[in-house]
Amino acid sequence: MKRAAPGEFEIIREYFAGAPIGEGVVLGIGDDCALLQPPAGALLATSVDTLVADRHFPASADPAAIAARALRVNLSDLAAMNAQPLWFTLALTLPHSDADWLQAFADGLLQTAKTYGVALVGGDTTCGPLSLTIQVTGSSQKPLRRDGARVGDAIYVSGELGASAAALPLVLGQKLAGKAEMEAAERAFYYPEPQLVTSAAIGGFASSALDISDGLLADLGHICAASGVSADVDMHALPVAPLARQLAGERALELAATGGDDYQLCFTVPQQQVATLEKLGLDAVCIGTIVEGRGEVHAWLDGERWFPEAAGYEHF
């Protein structure tokens, strides 16, 4: 039997007020504002992201998976800056108040929050088409930025690329697949791993970094534009995810280069720091070099320029 639909105040109290209290939370959910104490000497890093049903995820998706993805994607932005997660707020717009949906959503959200040690400190609920906005705040002693890449720096990518983009047609129900493939696709799309450990490891010496959300080549272009340089990328060096090969076949390499939603890090390292990086044994590979130029990314395959059929994801 379905439980009665809760009202706004009840939603916050019943589903989210039990959120774990985190570091620096003087006063959490329940008053007009949260009161937060930043760590001494650190910079605060803050970022906000909105996910809209049927634009960023199917409205019918598992609410726990939607919640997990929304928070993980935001935490990825903190990882991109070498910031440790502290707090987040949630604005939730729901077409109707559904107790079962809310319980699953809150469980998924608070479980993810616990995994990454980030505390929910405030929220708002409204009636309307399904969408959610999360704002995260973290602290950083050594922030990584996009504008520090210099000519000669080595370009690295963490983890594997292309899985989420290859999974998207399955997640959207545009392509049918077996149970195992479907589960792997949902895992790749809804549960990206924010690269907080890698980011903390490279924070002391990387010259620039960002997280790959729009596609490697497009995002690397952002580093190049901000830094006033260009990049040469060896397509053979891209760490193509086995799932991308399995789901997308010959298109896997293109998806690794341009597909997006990877939430891996792309970062640059001065040549004199490459040995330091390699000694750490991180899951990261060198894919190219920063060269002189004006914000262009040149991809190379077998000695020839390689061009994608589709450019990186643009929202509008």
Contacts with Mg ion, residue ranges (CB under 5 A): 77, 80, 211
Question: To the nearest whole angstrom, how small is the minimum distance from the Cβ of residue 265 to Mg ion?
Answer: 10
How many Å apart are CA 80 and CA 76, to the nearest integer? Answer: 6
* Residue with smaller CB distance to Mg ion, 82 or 125: 82
Question: To the nearest whole angstrom, how small is the minimum distance from the Cβ of residue 211 to Mg ion?
Answer: 4
What string of DSSP letters covers 55-67?
A: TTB-TTS-HHHHH
**213 marked as part of a ligand binding site:** yes
CA neighbor of 238 nearest in space, from 223, 222, 252, 218:
252
Question: To the nearest whole angstrom, how small is the minimum distance from the Cβ of residue 98 to Mg ion?
Answer: 31
**313 marked as part of a ligand binding site:** yes
Pairing of strands 84-94, 284-291: unpaired
Let me know: does 286 contact 231? Beta carbons within 8 Å: no
The total of other beta-carbon atoms located within 10 Å of residue 100's CB is 10
* Residue with smaller CB distance to Mg ion, 199 or 230: 199
Let me know: does 199 contact 140? Beta carbons within 8 Å: no
**47 marked as part of a ligand binding site:** yes
**56 marked as part of a ligand binding site:** yes
How many Å apart are CA 260 and CA 246, to the nearest integer? Answer: 17
**214 marked as part of a ligand binding site:** yes
* Residue with smaller CB distance to Mg ion, 211 or 261: 211
**100 marked as part of a ligand binding site:** no
* Residue with smaller CB distance to Mg ion, 22 or 260: 260
Q: Which residues have CB under 8 Å from 215's CB, separation 6+? A: 165, 257, 258, 259, 260, 311, 312, 313
Residue positions counted in the chain: 316
* Residue with smaller CB distance to Mg ion, 125 or 258: 258
HSE-CB of 85 using CA atoms within 13 angstroms: 29
**98 marked as part of a ligand binding site:** no
Q: Which residues are annotated as a binding site for substrate?
A: 56, 261, 313
Q: Which residues are annotated as a binding site?
A: 32, 47, 49, 56, 77, 123-124, 146, 211, 213-214, 261, 313
Q: Which residues are annotated as a binding site for ATP?
A: 123-124, 146, 213
